[in-house]
A = this chain, B = another copy of it.
Amino acid sequence: MNEHINFDFGRTNRTGIPEVIYAEGKEEPIVLKLLEDFALNTEHPIMFTRLSPSVFRRLSPEFQSKYSFDALAKTAYSNQIPKKVNGRVAIVSAGTSDGFVTWEAKRTLDYLNVKSEVFEDCGVSGLWRLQEKLSQINSFDIIITVAGMEAALVSVLAGLTSKPIIGVPTSIGYGVCKGGQTALNSMLACCAPGVAAVNIDNGFGAACMAYKTLLSCKGSTK
């Protein structure tokens, strides 16, 4: 085999984030080998993202049982990080089609031992859906907002809350949605301040941003 990976188990100390493996684009035998190796490694927590269900299911049942796997979020993790991060994150999404991103964020926060709650289907085409959950959402420390198409949810929410918003544009939509580019631009052009965005469909990245923020500002407890 022509390759070798430099694992970075010191990363947790340096950046606060444990090793995570992005499975997409890696050849299937390599991913399976990694899944097996880490299943036997009980010392380090590990998470796989963008892990296709069809690949995961090729793993033997014993190995599968070592992981918490979610087919919609395409994530598998062996065990959570030991320390519990203070603070709570609301994940607000525009529609159920955005679910693959919404739940990647949720699952990543679970793995990172951050308390969070999901509020799905709050898109502004029916404003009442957002408004009836607003006071609840406002009780969280950080809001992750997941939206595709024109992502107007972010602008509206930013004008209604004093909480920071991490926007995750999704690739949901067609034509001028341009694979999420319009949602991303809308979030960045948002006229209400207090919004920052991550890459398209990057629920994992939004969760890490929320985690690092809470770790830095609110600390953790063993």
Chain A: residues with CB nearer than 8 A to chain B? 2-6, 8, 10-11, 14-17, 20, 22, 24-27, 30, 70, 72-73, 87, 94-97, 99, 103, 120-129, 141-142, 149-152, 154-156, 158-164, 166-167, 169, 171-202, 204-206, 208-209, 211-218
Contact = CB atoms under 8 A, between A and B. Distances in A.
Contacts of A16: 162, 194
A152 B178 contact: no
B213 A217 contact: yes
A194 B198 CA distance: 9
A167 B123 CA distance: 19
Given A149-B191, A171-B175, A182-B186, A162 B215 contact: yes
30 contacts: A2-B99, A3-B72, A4-B120, A6-B129, A11-B126, A14-B159, A14-B162, A15-B158, A16-B162, A17-B162, A26-B97, A94-B191, A124-B191, A124-B192, A125-B155, A150-B186, A152-B152, A152-B156, A162-B216, A166-B196, A174-B199, A175-B179, A176-B188, A182-B186, A185-B185, A186-B186, A193-B204, A193-B212, A213-B217, A217-B218
Contact of A96 (B5, B129, B211): B5
